[in-house]
């Protein structure tokens, strides 16, 4: 059996990537098929059944009545959602914080990678890089605790501001709505810049060194080389990461906002996920259907972002995801 | 005439070179300063938390502690080790879920990646599509919560392990790596009579150690740091709390005393001889410690791992 299959392999090496669905081939890889079936069952339960659960958005779902016993209400939940001022506010917050985060984290990570790449001393470079991605491994709980400590009235930021006589009394950063988005963006930068830069640094090392040499011969200085060689060399990487992250813009707002927000800033801090969570946890106003409807909205918008940005990238001839 | 011209040109060249050299020097100085500053901003909060964790509680409220504690005390660590049962339970559950969750997840992801990377597998494209869809379309928080309640996964330890076991993203990273292994190895083993499972265990797995290490690291860090699942699924079951969730409760109690305050929270906190801020610092350091301790040994893995799967998908 084994010998005959290996012989047939040798006879037609051209078609090696496309196996034919034959009884013989099926028998040969039955074990792969059996394991795949187990994986498919697992996938259906944990990934596809929740998608089927979207139908409860069209019901007035009560847990103890179940899906079959709950009343169908059509699009009522969606109608409520889009007339709810809180929901519209929450969409704005999610989108704005997600966009701020996407823009700044990309720009800062690229800048950091380019600057780090300019360092000649190997050990200095390695140390800075090692330090830079440490915060990625800390939980958001710890990061929020750190941000909290830094920004309280006795924290380091107010300490510095007061010593420099920029403010006379401690400034309540966390109680001011206009400061919430910048704080969220900066916290994200603190945690993820070093980590995000890893991929860019790897991409920089794969740029052809000849390009730098010929640029030097043409009289390009360091800045010019960074601008006209390194940055264009990073273009494919930047494009593919942007595409991947655009779909995540609406997902990028949960833990940090949930932990850092408080009653004074809730109009700018609450995101779609927090809104959903409130409908799921608040014992007095429990409404699973409404929360599901909000979740559907988020997923559908995210998918649209991915498809549209992918389409644009395809048109412009850039890298794309699919 | 010509000589003068040439002289003029080379003189210009030297001037240009000199200008470049000074530019270079200024840039190097500025760049180094910036990067050192970056490192300080990254490390300072961690060191500051360390200083707070060793400081006496009431003294810490005054602020002004930077790199070193002002009034030394072991009290905060004693408190989290001996007087807070929640933290002890949380630590136990977190260690358990990190070990069990990482091992099961690694095995499950590796086997699926192996199947998807077999070029001859009959249902390769269908299976790939089935898993790629799960990366983009998710049912959302509430359908998942309801499903877990139906499956009796809520109020249990297994909610931490079973649902997240297979992750399409990790599978794609591993599959990319496995596709790089030459087919001839597999064919040779099959000629010797090895079946698919034998090839997976004896040929592919030993060659995939770097990518296994990377994925294991990602999954372990995820388990170590997660708190949201404890809050969502096991809120009313203190025996399944996690370390980070306990830390989050401490965070809440501190923000209640320093931020917009309710009077009750204020008096509750001041009645305590140990202010939460130092206890929380001690708990933060305790949860960070294993990560920081293992960090130097593990870092080569995640850099290679990210570049394997991340860029060239």
3-state SS record for chain B: CHHHHHHHHHHHHHHHHHHHHHHHHHHHHHHHHHHHHHHHHHHHHHHHHHHHHCECHHHHCCCCCCCCCCCECCHHHHHHHHHCHHHHHHHHHHHHHHHHHHHHHHHHHHHHHHHHCCCCCCCHHHHHHHHHHHHHCCCCHHHHHHHHHHCCCCCCHHHHCCCCCCCHHHHHHHHHHHHCCCHHHHHHHHHCCCCHHHHHHHHHHHHCHHHHHHHHHHHHHHHHHCCHHHHHHCCCCHHHCCHHHHHHHHHHHHHHHHCCCCHHHHHHHHHCCCCHHHHHHHHHHHHHHHHHHHHHHHHHHHHHHHHHHHHCC
The pLDDT tens digits of the residues spanning A60-94 come to 888 888 888 888 998 999 999 999 999 999 999 99
- Binary contact (A259, B196; C-beta < 8 A): no
A319 has pLDDT over 70:
no
Task: Give the gap in angstroms from C-alpha A222 to the nearest C-alpha of chain B.
Answer: 7
Average pLDDT score over chain A: 86
Rounded Cα–Cα distance for residues B22 and B90 (Å): 57
Note whether A77 and A58 are within 8 A (CB).
Answer: yes
A312 has pLDDT over 60:
yes
Count of CB atoms situated within 10 Å of the CB of B69: 19
Note whether B302 and B210 are within 8 A (CB).
Answer: no
A36 Cβ under 8 Å from any chain B Cβ: yes
Chain A residues close to B259, C-beta within 8 Å: 174-175, 262, 264
- CA A185 → CA A190, B25, B175, distances in Å? 9, 33, 34
Rounded Cα–Cα distance for residues B69 and B51 (Å): 5
Rounded Cα–Cα distance for residues B166 and B275 (Å): 42
Chain A, 61 to 80: residues with Cβ < 8 Å from chain B are: 61, 63
Chain A, 198 to 227: residues with Cβ < 8 Å from chain B are: 198-199, 202-203, 219, 221-223
Q: Where are the domains of chain A?
A: 2-72, 76-315
Looking at the predicted complex, does its ipTM rise above 0.90?
A: no
Instruction: Tell me the CATH number for domain A76-315.
Output: 1.10.3720.10
Percentage of chain A lying above the pLDDT 90 cut:
44
Residue A14 phi/psi, 5° resolution? -70, -45
What pLDDT is attached to residue B22?
83
Count of CB atoms situated within 10 Å of the CB of B25: 10
The pLDDT tens digits of the residues spanning B16-56 come to 777 778 888 888 999 999 999 999 999 999 999 999 999 88
What pLDDT is attached to residue A4?
39
By DSSP bridging, strand A59-60 and strand A71-72 are antiparallel
Contacts of A20 (CB under 8 A, 6+ apart): none
- The residue-averaged pLDDT of A302-322 equals 78
Note whether A59 and A70 are within 8 A (CB).
Answer: yes
A58 Cβ under 8 Å from any chain B Cβ: no
| A203 vs A12, residue with greater confidence | A203
Question: Residue A5 — very low, low, confident or very high, per pLDDT cuts 50/70/90?
Answer: very low
Strand partners, A60: A71
Assigned fold of B77-311: MetI-like fold (1.10.3720)
């Amino acid at each position: 059996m084994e010998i005959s299959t290996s012989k047939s392999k040798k006879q037609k090496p051209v078609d090696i990537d496309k196996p034919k669905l034959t009884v013989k081939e099926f028998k040969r890889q039955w074990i792969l098929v059996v394991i795949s079936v187990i994986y498919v069952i697992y996938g259906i339960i944990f990934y596809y059944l929740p998608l089927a659960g979207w139908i409860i958005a069209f019901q007035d779902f009560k847990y103890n009545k179940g899906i079959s016993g709950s009343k169908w209400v059509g699009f009522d939940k969606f109608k409520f959602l889009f007339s709810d001022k809180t929901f519209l506010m929450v969409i704005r917050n999610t989108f704005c914080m997600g966009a701020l985060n996407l823009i700044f984290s990309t720009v800062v990570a690229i800048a950091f990678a380019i600057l780090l790449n300019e360092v000649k001393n190997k050990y200095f470079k390695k140390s800075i890089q090692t330090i830079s991605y440490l915060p990625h491994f800390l939980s958001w709980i710890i990061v929020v605790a750190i941000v909290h400590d830094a920004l309280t009235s006795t924290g380091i930021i107010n300490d510095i501001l007061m010593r420099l006589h920029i403010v006379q009394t401690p400034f309540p950063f966390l109680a001011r709505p206009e400061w919430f988005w910048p704080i969220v963006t900066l916290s994200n930068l603190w945690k993820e810049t070093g980590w995000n830069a890893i991929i860019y640094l790897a991409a920089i090392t794969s740029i052809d060194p000849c390009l730098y040499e010929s640029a030097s011969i043409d009289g390009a200085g360091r800045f010019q080389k960074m601008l006209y060689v390194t940055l264009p060399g990073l273009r494919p990487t930047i494009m593919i990461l942007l595409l991947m992250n655009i779909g995540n813009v609406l997902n990028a707002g949960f833990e940090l906002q949930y932990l850092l927000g408080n009653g004074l800033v809730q109009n700018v801090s609450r995101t779609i996920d927090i809104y959903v969570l409130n409908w799921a946890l608040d014992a007095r106003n429990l409404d699973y259907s409404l929360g599901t409807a909000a979740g559907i909205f988020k997923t559908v918008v995210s998918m649209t972002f991915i498809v549209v940005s992918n389409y644009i990238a395809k048109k412009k001839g850039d890298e794309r995801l699919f | 005439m010509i000589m003068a011209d040439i002289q003029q040109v080379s003189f210009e060249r030297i001037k240009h070179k000199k200008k470049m050299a000074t530019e270079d020097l200024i840039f190097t100085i500025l760049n180094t300063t910036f990067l050192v500053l970056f490192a300080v901003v990254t490390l300072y909060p961690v060191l500051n938390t360390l200083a707070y964790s060793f400081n006496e509680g009431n003294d810490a409220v005054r602020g002004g502690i930077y790199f070193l504690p002002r009034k030394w005390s072991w009290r905060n660590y004693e408190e989290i080790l001996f007087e807070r049962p929640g933290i002890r339970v949380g630590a136990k559950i977190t260690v358990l879920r990190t070990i069990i969750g990482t091992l099961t997840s690694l095995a499950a992801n590796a086997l699926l990646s192996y199947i998807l990377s077999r070029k001859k597998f009959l249902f390769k494209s269908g299976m790939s599509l089935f898993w790629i869809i799960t990366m983009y379309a998710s049912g959302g928080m509430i359908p998942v919560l309801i499903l877990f309640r139906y499956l009796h996964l809520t109020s249990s330890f297994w909610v931490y392990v079973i649902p997240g076991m297979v992750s399409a993203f990790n599978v794609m990273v591993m599959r990319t790596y496995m596709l790089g292994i030459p087919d001839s190895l597999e064919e040779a083993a099959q000629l010797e009579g090895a079946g698919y499972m034998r090839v997976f265990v004896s040929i592919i797995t030993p060659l995939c150690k770097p990518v296994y290490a990377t994925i294991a690291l990602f999954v372990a860090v995820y388990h170590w740091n997660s708190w949201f699942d404890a809050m969502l699924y096991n809120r009313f079951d203190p025996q399944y709390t996690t370390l980070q969730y306990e830390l989050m409760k401490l965070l809440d109690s501190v923000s209640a005393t320093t931020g917009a305050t309710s009077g009750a929270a204020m008096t509750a906190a001041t009645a305590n001889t140990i202010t939460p801020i130092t206890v929380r610092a001690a708990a933060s350091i305790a949860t960070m410690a294993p990560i920081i301790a293992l960090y130097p040994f593990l870092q080569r893995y995640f850099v290679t791992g990210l570049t394997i799967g991340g860029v060239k998908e």
